[in-house]
């Protein structure tokens, strides 16, 4: 390192050297390399100032200089990491407890380790950082200024970690957490609701969020990771990453009020629907898709007079004799039982279909969502 560098320093090399200045300053704490890096600092600074004097040597000197400066930077980075970053994080935990207990003995009791182990850890931390952190006294220890500075950061960080562990424990014990479910009006009302009531009684601290949407949108929410699982109605067309479990049978029916009393008790062909005012769900629902598909297989094509967003509204429209309503029987059960509506009878009944629990097996569920899923699956086994 006693040779004089006799070549021109380029602008790009200057920017590299500016980083070298920073690393040189940081390396002054290393007693073995202090003089070497001070010499490098002085020489590189003089070389930058003497640009014109060495312009003739640009071709020969620049490449060699870049290599030397690069090696300087790499050696400096490695040395800094060894001296300052390679400190066992366990030492900071011990440092925190010694600082809060004001005692090596107190920290040892708190951590359930030996007093010599605590003393050794503090010593290793001080050596690694190159500065004294505690003042030893007859009745304990106190933080030095450097120790107080370090504690202001370590204390906040360690206490944040402890708070995180506490929240994690609460989540695992179902004292905290959230379940995100996707469901339609039908699946929520005629399947999920009793289970959600039971789940809430068992785990009142768990937040339950239900995203209300038809089956296609629910599957999209699941695919995008916005929900933990969905409860949908067939037909469903999904990729292999989804697991689908049947949970309940449902029956699609056509219902009417007393305006259409002449149809009651007859065995009808589905072709008659082409001549009647129909009230159906909107086209982007699995119910509408299933009924339309079945009718098309029977060479029947219908054009609804009313397309509504919910099955409850279809029942209300049918009660007011605005047309023949197409709904899942559960929605009209009360009106069918009290005589406000009657069910049209056909020579062939539309086949039953299923409500399904659908899960994306690529995504891991929260603890709370897993517990609710287990509750649903246990009821499926009992049935």
Which residues are bridge partners to 343 per DSSP? 255
Q: Look at 73 and 56; give whichever has higher pLDDT.
A: 73
Counting DSSP H helices and E strands in the chain, the numbers are 14, 14
DSSP state of 279: E
HEC profile of 58-80: HHHHHHHHHHHHHHHHHHHHHHH
**Residue 256: band (very low, low, confident or very high) from pLDDT cuts 50, 70, 90:** very high
pLDDT of residue 194: 92
pLDDT above 70 for 249: yes
Note the pLDDT tens digit of each residue in 312-329: 999 999 999 999 999 999
Which tops the pLDDT comparison, 63 or 69?
69
CB atoms within 10 A of CB 195: 15
Q: Quote the pLDDT of residue 65.
A: 52
CA 132 to CA 122: how far, in whole Å? 9
Neighbours of 30 (CB within 10 A): 16
- pLDDT score, position 61: 52
Domains of the chain by range and CATH? 11-85 (no CATH), 89-172 (1.10.10.10), 178-249+355-382 (3.40.190.10), 252-351 (3.40.190.10)
Q: What digits encode the pLDDT tens for the residues 330-370?
A: 999 999 999 999 999 999 999 999 999 999 988 888 889 99
Strongest mean pLDDT among 72-86, 165-179, 368-382: 165-179
Residue that is written with structure tokens 């050696």 in the block: 75
- How far is CA 231 from each of CA 87, 200, 382, rounded to the nearest angstrom? 51, 18, 19
pLDDT at position 24 is 38
CA distance 206 to 208: 6
CB 143 within 8 A of CB 133: yes
pLDDT of 158-182, one tens digit each? Answer: 999 999 988 888 888 888 889 999 9
Q: At 100, is the secondary structure helix, strand, or coil?
A: helix
More confident residue, 285 or 77: 285
Structure confidence by residue, pLDDT tens digits, 259-276: 999 999 999 999 999 999
Task: Give the residue among 222, 218, 221 at the shortest CA–CA distance from 234.
Answer: 218
Say if pTM beats, i.e. exceeds, 0.95.
no
Rounded distance, CA 98 to CA 115, Å? 11
Higher pLDDT, 170 or 150: 150
Bridge partners (DSSP) listed for residue 356: 232, 246
**What pLDDT does 333 receive?**
95
Q: How far apart are the first and last CA of the chain?
A: 84
Asked if residue 177 lies in contact with residue 206, where contact means CB atoms within 8 angstroms, the answer is: yes
Find out whether 236 and 244 touch, Cβ atoms under 8 Å: yes
Query: Residue 191 gets which letter from DSSP?
Result: I
The confidence band for 71, taking pLDDT boundaries of 50, 70 and 90, is: low
pLDDT reported for residue 139: 85
């Amino acid at each position: 390192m006693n040779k004089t560098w006799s070549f021109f320093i380029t602008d790009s090399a200057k920017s590299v050297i500016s980083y070298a200045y920073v690393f040189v300053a940081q390396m002054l704490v290393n007693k073995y390399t202090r003089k070497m890096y001070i010499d490098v600092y002085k020489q590189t600074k003089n070389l930058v100032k003497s640009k014109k004097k060495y312009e003739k040597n640009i071709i020969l000197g620049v490449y060699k200089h870049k290599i030397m400066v690069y090696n300087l930077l790499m050696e400096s980075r490695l040395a800094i990491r060894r001296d300052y970053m390679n400190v066992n994080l366990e030492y900071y935990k011990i440092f925190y407890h010694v600082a809060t207990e004001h005692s090596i003995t107190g920290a040892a009791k708190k951590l359930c380790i030996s007093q010599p182990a605590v003393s050794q850890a503090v010593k290793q931390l001080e050596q690694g950082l190159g500065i004294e952190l505690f003042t030893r006294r007859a009745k304990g220890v106190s933080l030095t200024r450097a120790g107080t500075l370090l504690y202001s950061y370590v204390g906040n960080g360690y206490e944040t970690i402890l708070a995180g562990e506490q929240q994690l424990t609460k989540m695992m014990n179902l004292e905290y957490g959230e379940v995100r479910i996707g469901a339609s009006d039908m699946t929520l009302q005629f399947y999920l609701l009793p289970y959600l009531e039971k789940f809430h009684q068992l785990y009142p601290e768990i937040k339950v969020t239900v995203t209300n949407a038809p089956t296609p949108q629910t599957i999209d929410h699941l695919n995008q990771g916005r929900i933990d699982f969905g409860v949908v109605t067939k037909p469903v067309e999904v990729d292999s990453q989804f697991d689908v479990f049947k949970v309940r049978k449902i029956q699609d029916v056509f219902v009417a009020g007393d305006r259409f009393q002449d149809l009651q008790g007859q065995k009808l062909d589905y072709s008659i629907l082409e001549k009647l005012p129909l009230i159906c769900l909107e086209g982007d629902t699995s119910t509408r898709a299933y009924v339309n598909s079945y009718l098309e297989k029977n060479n029947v094509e219908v054009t609804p007079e009313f397309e509504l967003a919910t099955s409850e509204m279809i029942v209300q429209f049918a009660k007011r004799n605005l047309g023949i309503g197409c709904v899942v029987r559960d929605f009209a059960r009360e009106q069918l039982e009290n005589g406000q509506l009657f069910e049209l009878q056909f020579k062939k009944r539309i086949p039953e279909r299923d409500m399904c629990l659908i899960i994306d097996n690529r995504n891991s569920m929260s603890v709370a969502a897993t517990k609710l899923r287990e509750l649903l699956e246990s009821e499926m086994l009992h049935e």
